[in-house]
Amino acid sequence: MRHLSLSEKSRPYLLFPMSIILGLSIWEIGGRSMSDALLAPPSAVLLRFMEMVADGSLPLAFASSVQHMALGYALAIIVAIPLGIALGRSPSVAAACEPVINAIYAIPPVAFVPFLIVWFGLYFEGRVALVFLMCFFEILINIHQGVRNVDRGLLEAAASFDLRGIRLYRKVVIPAALPFIFTGLRVGAGRAVNAMITAELFFAAVNIGKLLKNSGNAFDTASMFSIILSVSIFGLICQETVRFAERRLLPWHHQETP
């Protein structure tokens, strides 16, 4: 984009802090004029957040929550990569599988919860299953697209050098599809964090979900805001971590993906 001027480049450093201060001030004024049971001001949220970190309740809850999130996310990646490659490499496989995949994808994941309870129970396994379900399709779709769009020229060159089997995938297909794979992993990481808290609210309430429910029952909006914001920030950190890994591993291709 040529028309981005210098002032526009420096814009974030000036405007973003202003935006945050402005937003927090409006929230503070609004929160103070209302009861804490309705909308706690940011000062109260920050205080509550520090209390929850100091007494260990929030870090402990996070440490347990991350377990089912990480396992579900890892399982989704393990299943999605080979399936996505198969779909991307063979138009026939894609045509046969796509309607079924799209149909299952169209069902809201949370609606599967009663099912997952029957199969996996109310606890850890059930939560892992929901995390899997919520991030699997996002990862799969991106890998499918990436492999399908591998440059034909590359494939033809590989064919003329008689590259086949595992080596074709290791040397050509996967490296060429990596940017898409990373997009899938990044979007999937965001979904996994989202699923982490969703699972704790819809199965037996534990960890962060339990903290959130309990503060809701106590009309403690300051705690609720600190929990929700911590989860959002954690989600952003997870996504940025994937982006960072992408930049390190694929320095030739760090374009901004939407």
Which residues contact another protein by CB under 8 A? 1, 3, 8, 11-12, 14-16, 18-20, 22-23, 37-39, 91-92, 95-100, 102-104, 106-115, 117-119, 190, 193-194, 197-198, 201-202, 212-213, 215-216, 219, 221, 224-225, 227-229, 231-233, 235-236, 239, 258
Residues in the chain, overall count: 258
Which tokens belong to 102? 């799209």
Name the minimum Å distance from CB 63 to another protein: 18
Measured between alpha carbons, how far is 185 from 152 in angstroms, rounded to an integer?
24
Name the minimum Å distance from CB 147 to another protein: 16
CA distances from 93 to 84, 167, 246, 252 (A): 10, 21, 29, 31
Name the minimum Å distance from CB 161 to another protein: 26
Name the minimum Å distance from CB 61 to another protein: 13
In sequence order, the 6+-apart residues with CB closer than 8 A to the CB of 164 are none
SS3 162: coil
Measured between alpha carbons, how far is 45 from 226 in angstroms, rounded to an integer?
6
CA distances from 138 to 178, 213, 221 (A): 15, 28, 32
Name the minimum Å distance from CB 258 to another protein: 6
CB of 158 or CB of 215, closer to another protein: 215
Name the minimum Å distance from CB 92 to another protein: 6
CB of 39 or CB of 174, closer to another protein: 39
- Burial (CB count within 10 angstroms: exposed 0-12, middle 13-18, buried 19+), residue 154: middle
CB of 13 or CB of 252, closer to another protein: 13
CB of 14 or CB of 245, closer to another protein: 14
> Any idea what DSSP says for residue 109?
G
End-to-end alpha carbon distance in the chain: 15
In sequence order, the 6+-apart residues with CB closer than 8 A to the CB of 210 are 61, 200
Name the minimum Å distance from CB 116 to another protein: 10
CB of 81 or CB of 212, closer to another protein: 212
CB of 8 or CB of 151, closer to another protein: 8
In sequence order, the 6+-apart residues with CB closer than 8 A to the CB of 169 are 85
CB of 163 or CB of 229, closer to another protein: 229
